[in-house]
DNA sequence: GTCTATACGTGGATAGAC
DNA sequence: GTCTATCCACGTATAGAC
């Protein structure tokens, strides 16, 4: 099995169960690999798997966010495209965010650099759209942070309240959050 | 030791480490009680401890939010008071939220009712302030959800980015979020 | 590269003395 | 009401065969 293929399956386990909940049994099940085989691909065990997962996520954020958010179409249309992608990725608000999962717990101590970088990739890409729309750089950064923070918070409410309406509202308001005062 | 005294210490462990990370060793250390003593107070073990922690949190939310948010002072001043309390409670953005912690992981399956209720206590109290300020009920509810969602999201950014500025901005904007269009 | 088997610590939980 | 001692299952990790 290709390493990337394994990583894709590992992501889901860490996303759903968090770092502590991602047991070797679950990671083994999700990949179809025995525990010993996992150690063949990731000699440092669980910690290396999580690190690989975060590397992969950063890569995918760069591909999946930076490219569409820098396309030559109008800024508002880029944001609508992203909102659509985000809606699909989080299964309309029913899926937790891996970065939030890891950032909240102890795992943040170990993976802080990687979590920070991944968040910044996303925030920077969003801020770039606002800048393209004529927003001043510092303001654009703050609005991009607001957008991410609203997405993250709405995912918590979605899980906690069992209601994805706040998530949908946040996505619908996304162009406004970034481009309007 | 009084049960409530124990619960207060247990809260901190679940808040900091999440449900999986809250091991009996840590719960024992935090309370100063041996494992067997914990089972004397909470016969159903860890699950009962977490349930007690959530009951306690709901109680404290009712006391700590409902009362000040229904005081006879101007709505905007009630919100400023709450912002101050929230800032102190989350240690200026450096402390994770227990509800978010539990809502994101597997624990949400077990404690969903309690998590939902606690969130609703908070949201309802906030919505009440907006209603008192003349906002229509459905709009007030949405704005209250927005306020909570922004607080939760900003706490994730604070941990993930290692920067509490977004949290401070969210708190400063809180009266505006609830009372202005 | 993947497996079976295994080692070793820890987590959750209980028995029973005081 | 708290303790020490103990139990069993599971989590992480490794050895070594194929």
Q: Residue A84 maps to which CATH number?
A: 1.10.357.10
Q: Does residue A41 lie within any of the structural domains?
A: no
Domain contains B33: no
pLDDT in tens, A119-166: 999 999 999 999 999 999 999 999 999 999 999 999 999 999 999 999
- B29 Cβ contact partners less than 8 Å away, ≥ 6 residues apart: none
- What is the phi-psi region of residue B96: left when phi exceeds 0, alpha when psi lies from -120 to 50, beta otherwise? beta
- Contact residues of A toward B, CB < 8 A: 16-18, 20-21, 96, 99-101, 103-106, 108, 112, 115-116, 119-120, 142, 145-146, 148-154, 156-157, 159-162, 166, 169-170
In chain A, the residue whose alpha carbon lies closest to the alpha carbon of B100 is A156
**Residue B7 falls inside a structural domain:** no
pLDDT of residue B37: 98
Q: What is the pLDDT of residue B181?
A: 74
B45 touches strand D (CB under 7 A): no
Question: What token pair was written down for B90?
Answer: 């989350």
For chain B, how many structural domains are there in total?
Answer: 1
Please report the pLDDT score of residue A66 as a whole number.
82
Mutate which of B152, B155, B176, B177 to test chain A, going by most A C-beta atoms within 10 A?
Answer: B152
Q: Which two tokens stand for residue B128?
A: 């009440």
The structure tokens listed for B173 are 């904007």
CB B119 within 8 A of CB A157: yes
Q: Is the pLDDT of residue A181 over 80?
A: no
Query: Is A140 contained in some domain?
Result: yes
Nearest Cβ partner for B149 among A100, A162, A166: A166
Close Cβ partners of B152 (under 8 Å, ≥ 6 residues apart): A152, A153, A156, A157, B97, B99, B100
Task: Give domain status of residue B5, yes or no.
Answer: no
Q: How confident is residue B66, by pLDDT bands cut at 50, 70 and 90? A: confident
Q: CA of B57 vs C1' of C9, distance in Å?
A: 34
A46: pLDDT strictly greater than 80: yes
- Does any domain span residue B6? no
In a domain, A125, yes or no: yes
Q: Which residue is nearest to nucleotide C13 (CA to C1')?
A: B45
Cα gap A83→A74, rounded to integer Å: 14
The backbone torsions φ and ψ at residue B148, rounded to the nearest 5 degrees and listed phi first, read -65, -45
Q: Which of B103, B142, B156 sits opposite A160 (nearest CB)?
A: B103
Pair of tokens at residue B8: 């207060």
Q: Do A23 and A68 form a contact (C-beta atoms < 8 A)?
A: no
What is the phi-psi region of residue A71: left when phi exceeds 0, alpha when psi lies from -120 to 50, beta otherwise?
A: beta
In percent, the amount of chain B with pLDDT more than 90 equals: 96
Euclidean distance between CA atoms B1 and B7, whole angstroms: 10
Containing domain of residue B115, as a range?
A: 54-179
Between the CA of residue A18 and those of A11, A62, A97, B29, B48, what are the distances in Å?
10, 23, 10, 24, 22
Asked if residue A36 is part of any domain, the answer here is: no
Q: Among A62-76, A125-139, B24-38, whose mean pLDDT is lowest?
A: A62-76
Q: Is the pTM of this model over 0.95?
A: yes
Average pLDDT, chain A: 97
**Confidence bin at B20 (pLDDT 50/70/90):** very high
CA of B87 to C1' of D7 (A): 46
């Amino acid at each position: 099995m290709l390493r990337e293929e394994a990583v894709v399956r590992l992501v889901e386990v860490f996303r759903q169960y968090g770092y502590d909940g991602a047991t070797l049994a679950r990671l083994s099940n999700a990949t179809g690999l025995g525990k010993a085989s996992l150690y063949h691909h990731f000699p440092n065990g669980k910690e290396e798997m999580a690190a690989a997962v975060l590397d992969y996520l950063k890569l995918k954020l760069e591909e999946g966010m930076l490219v569409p958010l820098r396309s030559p179409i109008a800024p508002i249309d880029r944001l609508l495209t992203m909102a659509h992608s985000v809606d699909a990725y989080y299964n309309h608000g029913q899926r937790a965010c891996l970065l939030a999962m890891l950032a909240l717990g102890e795992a943040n101590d170990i993976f802080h650099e990687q979590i920070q970088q991944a968040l910044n990739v996303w925030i920077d890409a969003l801020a770039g759209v606002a800048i393209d729309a004529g927003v001043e750089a510092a303001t654009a950064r703050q609005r991009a942070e607001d957008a991410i923070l609203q997405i993250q918070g709405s995912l918590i409410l979605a899980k906690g309240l069992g209601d994805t309406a706040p998530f949908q509202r946040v996505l619908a308001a996304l162009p406004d959050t970034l481009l309007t005062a």
